[in-house]
Amino acid sequence: MPLTALTARLAAAGLDLARPFDVAAYNAQVAGPHDLPPLPTFGRPDPCGLLVGNTRALWPPFITWLDADPTRRALPHPLDAYVTAQVGAALATLPCAAEPRFAHDAGPRRVAMLRLSALAGLARPGPIPLAIHPTHGPWFALRAALVLDHPAPTAPPPTTHPCDGCPAPCRPAWTATLAAGHDPAHPARAWQAWATARAACPVGTASHYGPNQTRYHYTHDAEALRAD
């Protein structure tokens, strides 16, 4: 099965979250009133989809990649470039055709990543505008949706939600951040406040990003492109 080798290669690059999904189900969800572009199917009724993300494991190999070539730090979006390169290298080893769509894609290649995450069962929306992973809580990022010209696996996604039964300490932290006048559309202006609201989630306390990864996640500040 191509997924075994593919997920191992991606994990070695720090893209350590991967969850198969039903491409046809996603395409059905985004059709009609949502009017989002469908994912390719290679003419199959059951192409294999793989949702790819990362935890804090991404940061060390990413920084190593930057340090290997100083010109990479001058790229407009070095982390997007890293993800694109690593996914492309991993897909090039497959014995079947494949097409990636990235979270940073726009226009006709854009993907409703949070909707896809819930569909795949990788992470589901929490009480505040964050998706929550069962192990890592809100400390992860979605990076790509891959479609392979290969039959999809049949395992159903998990049905439990990590927020079930939680007293939601994230709510007051989020409310306080909003009350302070911080705009969620511009998190870089008060990134420490948004990170504090994120850290209020009791799920994934061992998965918190390091200080530089956290800062870069919110600000894309080149000064944060350093090892944690």
Expressed in percent and rounded to 5, the helix, strand and coil fractions of the chain are 45, 15, 40
Residues in the chain: 228
Q: Are 124 and 131 in contact (CB under 8 A)?
A: yes
Helix axes 78-91 and 59-68, enclosed angle (nearest 10) = 100
- In this prediction, residue 157 has a pLDDT band, given cuts at 50, 70 and 90, of low
Q: Is the pLDDT of residue 161 over 90?
A: no
Q: What is the pTM of this model?
A: 0.94
Does residue 123 register a pLDDT over 80? yes
Q: How far apart are CA 15 and CA 54, in angstroms?
A: 5
Amino acid at 119: L
pLDDT band at 156 (very low <50, low <70, confident <90, very high): low
